[in-house]
Structure 1
Amino acid sequence: MNNKTYSLLWNARQLSTLVPRSRFLRIYPLRFCRPEVVHSKWNSRNCLLNGFGEGLQPSVRYLFQGVLKPVDGCTQTKGLSCAAVFKLDRVLCPRRLSSDSEHFLASDGASDHDLMKINSHHASSEDVLTKKMRPTPVNHKKLVQECNSLSDVLDTFSKAPTFPSSSYFLAMWTIAKRISEDKRRFEIQLMFSHSAFSQLCEQMIRETQIMHYDHLLFSLNAIMKLGVPQNTLMVQTLLRVAQERINECDERCLSILSTVLETLEPCMNVNALRAGLRILVDQQVWKIEQIFTLQTVMKCIGKDTPPALKKKLEMKALKELDKFSVLNSQHMFEVLAAMDHRSVVLLNECSKMVIDNIHGCPYKVLISILQSCRDLRYQNEDLFKSIADYVATTFEIWTVKQVTFFLMLFENLGFRPPGLMDKLMKKVVEDPDSLNIKNIVSILYVYSSLNHAHKDQNREFLEAMASAVTVHLHHISSENLLSIVYSFCLMNYFPLTLVNQLIKKNIINELLTSGDTEKNIHKLHVLNSCLKLDGSAYSKPVQIPLPQLPLPPSHPNDKVAEVLSHLLEGEGRFSRNVQLPHNYHIDFEIRMDNNRTKVFSFSDVDATSGTNMQRVAVLCVPKSVYCLNSNHPRGLLALKIRHLNAMGFHVILINTWELRKLRMEDAVAFVKTKIYPGEALPTTDATV
Structure 2
Amino acid sequence: MHFVCLSVNFASVFIPFITPGKQRHVFSFTARSDGCIILTTLKPSGSVSEDSKMNNRAGSFLCSLRPFSTLSPTSRTVRLYPSGFCRPKVVYSNWNPKNLLLKNFDNRMQSSFRYLFQDASIFKSGDDDSQTKGINTVTTLRVNRLLSPRRLSLDSKEFPVSDNGLKKMHFHHEASNEDVPTKETKPTPVSLKKLSQECNSLSDVLDTFSEAPKFPSSNYFSAMWTIAKRMSDDQKRFEKQLMFNHPAFTQLCEQMMREAKIMHCDHLLFSLHAIVKLGIPQNTLLVQTLLRVVQERINECDEKCLSVLSTVLEAMEPCKNVDVLRAGLRILVDQQIWKIERVFTLQAVMRSIGKDAPISLKRKLEMKALRELDRFSVLNSQHMFEVLAAMDHRSLILLNECSKVVIGNIHGCPFKVLISILQSCRDLRYRNLDLFKGIADYVATTFDIWKLKQVLFLLILFENLAFRHTGLMDLFMKKVVDEPRFLNMKSVVSILHVYSSLNHIHSCQAREFLDVMGGALTGYLHHISSENLLSAVCSFCMMNHFPLAPINQLLQKDIINELLMSDNKERNVHRLHVLAACLKLDDVNYHKSIDLAPPSPPSAPLYPNAKVAEVLSSLLGEGYFSENVQLPHHYHIDFEIRMDSNRSQVLPLSDANVVTSATDIQRVAVLCVPRSTYCLDLTHPRGFLAMKMRHLKVMGFHVILVNNWEMEKLAMKDAATFLKSKIYSTEDPPTADVNFQSTC
Offset from partner CA, 1:375-431 (integer Å, 9 cap, x none) = 000000000001111111111111221111111100100110100000011111112
User: Which residue of 2 is the match for residue 46 of structure 1?
Assistant: 151
Cα distance change on mapping 1:583 and 1:37 into 2, 3 Å:
same
Aligned to 1:165: 217
Q: Which moved more, 1:5-14 or 1:660-669?
A: 5-14
1:580 alignment partner in structure 2? 631
Q: CA deviation at 1:143?
A: 1.3
Report the equivalent of 1:82. Answer: none
Contact 1:150 1:176 in 2 (8 A): yes
Structure 1 residues 3 and 188: CA distance shift in structure 2, 3 A: farther
**1:112 corresponding residue in structure 2:** none
How much is the aligned-residue C-alpha RMSD, in angstroms? 2.9
Counterpart of 2:95 in structure 1 is none
1:136/1:674 CA distance change after superposition, 3 Å: same
Give the conservation status (yes or no) of the 8 Å contact 2:694–2:735. no
Measure, in 1, the Cα distance between the counterparts of 2:468 and 2:509. 18
Question: What amino acid is aligned across from residue 67 of structure 2 in structure 1?
Answer: N
- Is it true that 1:141 corresponds to 2:193 in the alignment? yes
User: 1 CA distance for matches of 2:709 and 2:464?
Assistant: 21
Match of 2:310 in 1: 258
Provide, for residues 226-258 of structure 1, a one-character-per-residue CA deviation record: whole Å limited to 9, x for no partner: 222222222222111111111111000000000
In 1: Cα distance, 2:669 partner to 2:395 partner: 40
1:351 counterpart letter in structure 2: S
Tell me which moved more, 547-556 or 269-278.
547-556
Q: Distance in 2 between matches of 1:49 and 1:435?
A: 59
Residue in structure 2 matching 1:228, options 265, 280, 287 = 280
Q: Counterpart amino acid of 2:644? A: D
Which residue of 2 is the match for residue 412 of structure 1?
Answer: 464
Confirm whether residue 347 of structure 1 aligns to residue 399 of structure 2.
yes
Q: Distance in 1 between matches of 2:678 and 2:283?
A: 51
1:642 aligns with 2:694: yes
Are the aligned partners of 1:466 and 1:495 in contact in 2 as well (CA < 8 Å)?
A: yes
- Give the one of 649, 653, 658 matched to 1:602: 653
Q: CA offsets per residue over residues 253-282 of structure 1, 9 Å max, x none?
A: 000000111122222221111111101100
Match of 2:481 among 429, 435, 447: 429
Matched residues, number: 617
Answer yes or no: is the 8 Å Cα contact 1:563–1:664 preserved in 2.
yes
Cα 1:538/1:681, change in 2 over 3 Å: closer
Q: Work out the CA distance in 1 between the residues paired with 2:285 and 2:575.
A: 53
Q: Call closer, same or farther: CA 1:665–1:50 in 2, change over 3 Å.
A: same
Rg larger for: 2
Aligned residue in 2 for 1:378: 430
Structure 2 counterpart of 1:207, from 259, 265, 273? 259
Pick aligned residue for 1:627 from 662, 679, 693? 679
Q: Deviations over 1:583-604 (max 9, x none)?
A: 0000000000000111111122
1:3 corresponds to which residue? 67
Q: Which amino acid aligns with 2:648?
A: T
* 1:189-208 aligned within 5 A: 189-208=241-260
Match of 1:388 in 2: 440
Query: In 1, Cα distance between the equivalents of 2:443 and 2:586?
Result: 37
Q: Which amino acid letter does the alignment assign opposite residue 47 of structure 1?
A: L
**Which residue, out of 519, 536, 540, partners 1:488?**
540
The residue identity in structure 1 corresponding to 2:440 is A
In structure 2, runs of 5+ residues without a counterpart are 1-63, 71-75, 82-88, 93-109, 124-140, 740-744
SS at match of 1:538: coil
Q: What SS class does the counterpart of residue 154 from structure 1 fall into?
A: helix
Contact 1:653–1:683 at 8 Å: present in 2 too? no
Among the aligned pairs, what percent are the same residue?
Answer: 64
For residues 476 and 47 of structure 1, the distance between their equivalents in structure 2, rounded to whole angstroms, comes to 62
CA contact (8 A) 1:600 1:607 kept: no
Which moves more between the two structures, 468-477 or 595-604?
Answer: 468-477
Deviations 1:177-209 (A, max 9, x none): 222223323322322232222222222122122
State yes or no: 1:301 paired with 2:353. Answer: yes
Q: Helix, strand or coil: the match of 1:618? A: strand
Tell me how far apart the structure 2 counterparts of residues 321 and 22 of structure 1 sit (CA, whole Å).
Answer: 51
How far apart in 2 are the matches of 1:249 and 1:516?
A: 49
Q: Output the TM-score relative to the length of structure 2.
A: 0.78
Report SS of the residue matched to 2:280.
coil
Q: Deviations over 1:467-492 (max 9, x none)?
A: 12222222222222211111110001
* CA distance 1:513–1:142, shift in 2 (3 Å): same
**TM-score normalised to the size of structure 1?**
0.84
Residues 107-159 of structure 1 show CA distances to partners (whole Å, capped at 9, x for unaligned) of: xxxxxxxxxx99x955xx6xxx24xx210111011112222222222222222
Range with greater deviation from structure 2 (164-173 or 381-390): 164-173
Matching residue of 1:553 = 605
What is the DSSP-based 3-state SS (H/G/I as helix, E as strand, rest coil) of the residue aligned with 1:552? coil
Q: Matches of 2:296 and 2:521 in 1, distance apart? A: 61
Q: Structure 1 residue 676 and structure 2 residue 733: aligned? A: no
Aligned counterpart, 2:521: 469
Structure with bigger RCO (C-alpha 8 Å, 6+ apart) = 1
Q: Contact 1:48 / 1:207 at 8 angstroms: preserved in 2?
A: no
Q: 1:611 and 1:338 mapped to 2: Cα distance?
A: 60
* Native 8 Å contact 2:546 2:588 kept in 1: no
> Residue type matched to 1:207 in 2?
E
What code does the residue aligned with 2:392 have? D
Which structure shows the higher strand fraction? 2
* Secondary structure at the counterpart of residue 672 of structure 2: strand
Indicate how the Cα distance of structure 1 residues 597 and 10 shifts in structure 2: closer, same or farther if over 3 A, else same.
Answer: same
Displacement of 1:687: 5.0
* Counterpart code for 2:468: R
> Partners in 2 of 1:182 and 1:536 — Cα distance?
52
Residues 147-186 of structure 1 correspond to what in structure 2 (within 5 A)?
A: 147-186=199-238
The alpha-carbon distance between structure 1 residues 138 and 619, as it changes in their structure 2 partners (threshold 3 A), is: same
| Residue number among 276, 282, 301 corresponding to 1:249 in the alignment | 301
For residues 437 and 469 of structure 2, what CA distance do their matches in structure 1 show?
A: 7
Q: Residue by residue, what CA displacement relative to the aligned partner does 1:654-678 show, whole Å, maximum 9, x if unpaired?
A: 1111111111110000000100026
**Separation in 1 of the partners of 2:250 and 2:733?**
76
Q: Is the 8 A contact 1:528 1:543 kept in 2?
A: no
**Alpha-carbon distance change, 3 to 165 in structure 1, aligned in 2, over 3 angstroms:** farther
Find the counterpart in structure 2 of residue 449 from structure 1. Answer: 501
